[in-house]
Amino acid sequence: MTEFQSSATSGSAVDMLGIVKDFDTFRAVDDVTLKIQPNEFFTLLGPSGCGKTTLLRLMAGFETPTTGSILLGTKDISRLPPNHRPINTVFQSYALFPHMTVAENIGFGLKMLGRSRSEIKVTVDEMLRLVRLEGRGDSLVTRLSGGQQQRVALARGLAPRPQILLLDEPLSALDLKLRQSMQIELKRLQAETGITFVFVTHDQEEALTMSDRIAVMNAGKVLQVGSSRDIYEHPADRFVAGFIGETNFLQGDLEAVDGMSGTVRLKNGVRVSAGLSEEAPRHGAITIVIRPEHIEITDVGAAGSIAATVATVVYFGTDTHIHTHLADGTPVIIRQQNRRDGSRAPQTNALIGLVLPLGASQVLRD
């Protein structure tokens, strides 16, 4: 057992403490502190330019932090060269050797580490089974489909049994169906190997589908860390709420507070109950957020409802999205699951009532 492996078993797999990365006058990573647990599927999620890939490159050793420390177990690896870290990276482009066979690509890292031919063969055969490419070891990688090449890249990254596997948007080049299939495969591989995966993506669906925990980033900062459910149902601020899935923002005044909930008076005078995050204001003008699937439709004028006009109805197969606007022009989207009981979505230009169920909305800081 290496010094990295023995030290990491006692706590976090990776500790990033006060990491700052400057490129001349541009700050790509701004005072980031993260704890990634052993055997965890951890995702860095955010828009292009938010600093997530830079953070991944810092873990890999391709960049050095301006300030701050990166700990693997109890060992500071902040200035350690990439080849001295028990960390492998799977790149967006796969970076396979086109003149080599599948088996040669998978075994390349092991060969560079000086492993014996017999050990390399045993490991390569194991990796081929793991990524379900049995019988393709002698094929040139150029003869494989995009999804198969992606599996080879994963197998090559897993073959040396790294403590951490970093994945830099490895699914972005795949079509939708294959990308969805590989999401399940990645989660299976992580569970079977027990290796800590750190995954970078800007795709919210990928993050929600695969991750044990997600760190949402913007402008070099980590805004929130939590499970998929926590991030989606209890966003920390307006950016997180707007970036993760579709959502609705309504303006109002917070009139009363009772613990972690409050009564909000919307602009049309309707009062609704909303949850309060710890950072949310406790009085005055506020913004509340509610997901489209939590809004209920009723008759216009019904007690406690908000009057809305249907602008567009979009059928998605599994559900229907109903785009409406309130009297003041505020857009509101409702998502209804399609059922076979004969129920239909309202028609375009119809006047309807919207109901925000108790506890379904949340007050956020802007």
Q: How far apart are CA 220 and CA 48, in angstroms?
A: 11
User: Which amino acid does the sequence have at 354?
Assistant: L
The predicted-structure confidence for 50-93, as pLDDT tens digits, reads as follows: 999 999 999 999 999 999 999 998 899 999 999 899 999 988 77
Q: How far apart are CA 8 and CA 5, in angstroms?
A: 5
Distances (CA, A) of 165 to 50, 74, 147, 152, 272: 21, 19, 19, 14, 46
Q: How far apart are CA 86 and CA 84, in angstroms?
A: 7
Mean pLDDT of the chain: 89
**Residues contacting residue 2 through CB under 8 Å, at least 6 positions apart:** 86
The predicted-structure confidence for 155-191, as pLDDT tens digits, reads as follows: 899 999 999 999 998 888 778 887 888 888 889 889 9
Give the pLDDT of residue 11: 74
The predicted-structure confidence for 300-330, as pLDDT tens digits, reads as follows: 988 888 999 999 999 988 899 999 999 889 9
User: Which amino acid does the sequence have at 193?
Assistant: T
Distances (CA, A) of 142 to 41, 102, 156: 30, 9, 16
Whether the pLDDT of residue 8 is over 70: the answer is no
The pairing of beta strand 41-45 with beta strand 213-218: parallel
